[in-house]
Structure 1
């Protein structure tokens, strides 16, 4: 349980464990770092710890899951045209996905796994929540694939990441990457490193900017408030929940 891991972050763990006892989680999988390594034909291999938030993701269904006391370990393209997305049903309740992020925060505080990244793990989790409710079994809707709903041009712009022992020139390499949580997260991180921009012009590049880049594409041209109001609302709700835990409230 989270409590057994927490030394010096008791308040965070108290909140997380209390939430877990009232919600449903998958049991944690053993963290096999060697098995989670990623590679790409155009960029250095991504270490698995750089996407540690994805060690365990949510099941696709919110029903018929047994409670557990264990703590679980796009869009956009470089083209100027903005393609309308087939949107998934939007729910403003974030019980399990948000709690997963909070549990990840507690684990990160203890294990020191938060690294200096363009998109931190918690923002990455909220992007996932906004795009697909972090549905790990989500395949494709039109051109959008995986739990981040990534397009092939986006994947190519991000460096054509592939899962271990795959090749970016092999048929299906794109789909195999973006439906894999680790490879998809590495793709998003690489895309944001390349096209990072203050889309909302508030003086800082923040998670809402990353969402605009992810949904609208490089240059973030267009109004994200009109392009995806539901997704933006979900992103903000997710961030608010994370902020509450960070502040200990």
Structure 2
């Protein structure tokens, strides 16, 4: 009788939620991600009792970004998440750190490498009434184009086959930009930061400025080389317009 490990069960459930879950990959022979506690970065789930999903990052008081292929799990954003349990099952934070995503606000495209994004509004917490960006903070998005060799950081909620408590819990890693390219309707940036399924939608920060330059979406690394892929914001006009429009309608208190 074949017994599935906790990580395998988590992988199965995650793939059922996000069609590209298995595409994320480790660059090189070792997984160099480390646990992190970035309050600006949330785990996206399909419900308050979800078992895995994608990653969302706040870019304003209410505005957030993720990947378009994550649309089915862009229902709940939970911040300040605990580590997973000894069987690799995610643990949820307190209700004050769980927010609903406004489904009517989501602007997204699941168009493959270079054209995969989601911009959305996060509703006020239904217990505290507070906006996520006010409590958790947010990152600024830059429309300046990064260059090959820039060091970037990716933080998100990927699978982990080596450590059950890190499985689908928040981890972070840095790597270099390998290339940028664009053509009509798409803009791609490749990189060698470690990721796994669940990192879909992770914002990519330029390490020197802590500004968001891209959205992580697809894998491509292996132990022998390769690179992971993202949607480059600076060269994607429709995505820039969606971000600008969302930020322009932020609540003013």
Scaled to the shorter chain, the TM-score interval is under 0.3
Q: Which has the higher strand share?
A: 2
Normalised by the length of structure 2, the TM-score is 0.27
